[in-house]
Amino acid sequence: MKKLLASTVVLLSLGFSANAEPIPEYPQLYAGPTNAPNGTISYTSIIGGTNGYRSSLSGHNVENGKVTKVFTCKSMQDTECAKANVIIYKSVLGMCSGTTSTDCISSFNAIDSNGNTFPGKLLPSVFSEKDGSFEGSRQQNIPSGGQSPLVNIPGAPHAFGTTYLPVVIVTGGGDNRNFYPLQDLAVRLYAVKVVQGQFNFTPSTMDLNASDYNNPFAVNWYGSDTRCVENDSTNCIVPTELPINFRFSITFKTSIPIPGWMHGQVVDPSIQIASTGSDYLTTIAAKPILNPMISVTVPIENLSADFLRPYQYLQFASQTNCDKSSFPMDLSTCQYTEVINDYGQRDFDEFLKWLSYANDTAFINPARWDVVLDPKYKNIGNCAIPENQVGGMVSTNAPMYLAGPPAWNPNNLTLDYKVAAPHYLSDKSINQGSYDLAINSKLARCLYKFTNAPISASLTIQSIEGKNQIATTVVRESNGFLYLSAKGFTFSSPVLSVKLFGEPIPEPVVQPTPTPSPTESTQPVVTLTSQPTPKVVVTKKPVIVKSVTCINGKNSKVFKGSTCPKGWKPKK
C-alpha cells in the first residue's frame, strides 16, 4: 500500500472579523515572513502544524490512484465509511470522564522545583460547533476522537493566567479493512487564554485534482486562524510562553498500543508505559525547553546556481507569483518561502545550508513542550524494540535533528545522534546545548549483551570541526528505561556518541569430560585377566604289533601275526 494520503486542503477563510479582540503574535506560530519581495527565498526552521486540532474520521473513494470523493463519518458503522477504499483517522484525545474511559487524557499536572504537584482541573469547553468527534473501533485499531481539553492549574501561572491546552493526537489509517495501522502520535502543550469575538470558522474544501492518498492530515475540515491554536466562530485559543520552571506530566489512555520511538523538544523527560486490562496507559513528564529558530530572507542573486537548483523544480503552496508552467522556474519573478516540515536527512542538510545565511544566530527562541512518536521504528541494530512498547526517546533543544533512534555504530559500539542549531540565541548569548536519551533497558542490554547489572555510560560530543567537547552528563535507570542527560555543549552541528558500560553476559565455556577415578566398593570386584590360548598336545597311542614264535624241527623263528606259517608250529 502507498504511504498514507496527500491531499491539498484549501482553507476558505483564515482571518478574524473586524470586531475581534486584537490577538498578540506568538513566535511559536510564526510561519515565515509575509511581505518578502519577489526575487527572494525565505527559509524558516519552525515546524508547522500548530493549529487545526480537531478530530476527524474520513473515508476516501479512490479510483486508479486518484481520490474521487472524501467524506467524514461518526463511526465505522456509517454507510460511506463502511464502503470507502481508504480510511484516515485523526483522533484528538479529550479528558477522561464518566462517559469516556478510554482514548482520553486521565491526568495533567504541573510540578514545581520543590517537587510540589499541582493537578489540573477540567474547564468547560468553549466550542459549541460540531467538533468532528467520532466513535472508534478497537477491532480495526481506530481510537475514538474527541476534543482537546482546557485545563486550569492555579499553582502554575503564566503570562496569560493559569489555563493550559494539553494536546494528544493519534493518526493513522490505510486500505486494509480489518486493521488500520498507527501512523503518528503527537503530544504538545500550550499555555493559553481564550479570546472572544466574531471569527471566521468555515469548513475547508478538498482540491481533488491535486489529491492522492498519502497524507494522514489530508482532511482538516475546519479553517483556523494561524494566530490561534484552535478557534470557532466566537472563540480563539491564543498561546503564550510556557513557564520553563515547571515540569509538566501528562497521562493518557488508549485503546490501541503505541509502539515505536519518541523524539521531541523537551528537557529531562521520563516515560512510563503500562497495560490496564485491554487499554494502554502512557505517562510523559518533562520540562519545556527554549528552542532557537532561524528565519532568513536572501535575494537569489546572493545564492549560487547549485544552491538554487532544488527550489527551481519544487512546487509548494508557499510560492507566490511563481510561474509553474515550465521548469526550471524563474525565481526572479516570484517569492519562495520554505518552512521546514520534517526531521529527515534532506531537512537536516537544508538547515545547515541556511544556517550560515542566518549568521549562526537564532531569530527567536520560544519555549516548547513537544513530543512525537513514530511507529515505523522497530529495532536498533540487530535488536528489536519489545513488542507494543516504546523503544525510547531522544529530546534536545536543537531545532533540527534526525528523527528516530540514534544510529548504532557497530565498530565503536556507540549510539550516534546528529543535532544542529544556531551557535547564538537571539540575544547573541551562547546557545547551550541540551540532549536527553531514554532507552528501553531491555533494548540497551540487547545491543551491548549486558546482564541485568547496573549500567554506566560515557558521552562524546564532537563538533563539526572534529573537536571533542566536555559536557555535564548524568546516567540513571528507572521504570524500565535507562536515562542519559548531557548539558552545556555548544553548536552548530555536533555528533553526540553514547557508549554504555556494564557487566557482559559471560560466554559459555565448553569443559572436557573428566576421566572417572576408581572408587572403593563394599562389593567384591571381579577382575578379568587376559590369558594365552593353551596349546593342545596330541599323544599317539603305541601301535602293538603281534608276533608268534614258531619251530620247525630244531629251528626256531619269530613271525609277525598270531599264527605260524605252513610247516611251522607254535613253540610251546
* Three-class SS state of 331: helix
Q: Which residue has the cell 506568538?
A: 26
Give the percent of the chain with pLDDT over 70.
77
Of 65-79, 87-101, 276-290, 383-397, the least confident: 65-79
For residues 263-274, b (16+ Cβ closer than 10 Å) or e, as one string?
Answer: bbbbbbbbbbbe
Are the C-beta atoms of residues 260 and 385 closer than 8 Å to each other? yes
Span 36-46, mean pLDDT? Answer: 85
Cβ neighbours, 10 Å, residue 242: 24
- The pLDDT-based confidence of 513 (bands split at 50, 70, 90) is low
Which of 281-290, 312-321, 541-550 is least confident?
Answer: 541-550
3-state secondary structure of 529: coil
**What is d(CA 485, CA 13) in angstroms, rounded to the nearest whole number?**
45
d(CA 535, CA 287): 104
pLDDT at 189: 95
What does the alpha-carbon distance between residue 389 and residue 375 come to, in Å, rounded to a whole number? 10
Q: What ranges in 260-321 are assigned the alpha helix state H? A: 305-312
3-state secondary structure 31-81: CCCCCCCCCEEEEECCCCCCCCCCCEEEEEEEECCEEEEEEECCCCCCHHH
Q: What is the tens place of the pLDDT at every residue in 421-434?
A: 999 999 999 998 89
Please tell me which residue, 208 or 110, carries the higher pLDDT value: 110
Instruction: Encode pLDDT of 180-213 as tens digits.
Output: 999 989 999 999 999 988 776 765 555 555 444 4
Which residue do the cell numbers 555528533 mark? 495
Mean pLDDT of 335-342: 77
Enter the C-alpha cell of residue 555: 629251528
DSSP letters spanning 358-405: TTTB-SB--EE-EEEEETT--EETTEEPPTTSEEEEEEES-SEE--SS
